[in-house]
Amino acid sequence: MAFPIDRKYIQEAELSLGFEFPDDFKDKMEKENGGSFETDDDELFLFPFPDTEDEQRRIRTLTNIISETVSAKEWEGFPENAVAVGDNGSGDILIFLPSVTDPTKLDNRFYMWRHETSRVEEVPHSIQDLMESAS
């Protein structure tokens, strides 16, 4: 279940991961921290940002962008500079990669890391698509 989050928790995650998230993604997550959306091939589930506002929110966000990124980096073939922002429930991970023009910022395109092949494929859906169809 998605719920709003204070922007300070997004900023804390950015500091922890060493990357700035795309503004559109931060805006979406601030309104609904998590959620899901569908592509032609998958239903994708967004990881929330960790939220320690109260005990209920802390528990709801134990599995989060930071913890899932740390965990994914242990998988063979996972891109070292990727940030895990969601999954399809079958082992494939939705990621952001750093921008070519500014490696401290994450590019606003979604990619899917395929766990069976370690291939990275661009997801043909934008953050705007996600914002329109997220549940």
Mind listing the pLDDT tens digit for each residue in 97-109?
Answer: 999 999 999 999 9
Residue 126, by phi and psi: left (phi above 0), alpha (psi -120 to 50) or beta? beta
- Reply yes or no on whether the pLDDT at 135 is more than 50: no
d(CA 12, CA 61): 14
> 37 in a domain, yes or no?
yes
> 1 in a domain, yes or no?
no
Query: Average pLDDT in the 10-15 region?
Result: 98
Note whether 52 and 20 are within 8 A (CB).
no
pTM: 0.92
Work out how many domains the chain is built from and give that number. Answer: 1
DSSP character string of 36-69:
EEE-SS-EEEEPPPP--SSHHHHHHTSS-HHHHH
> 2 in a domain, yes or no?
no
> 91 in a domain, yes or no?
yes
Neighbouring residues of 41: CB distance < 8 A, sequence distance ≥ 6: none
Phi/psi for 73 (5° steps) reads -65, -15
List the domain range (segments joined by +) for residue 35. Answer: 7-133
> 89 in a domain, yes or no?
yes
Phi/psi for 122 (5° steps) reads -70, 135
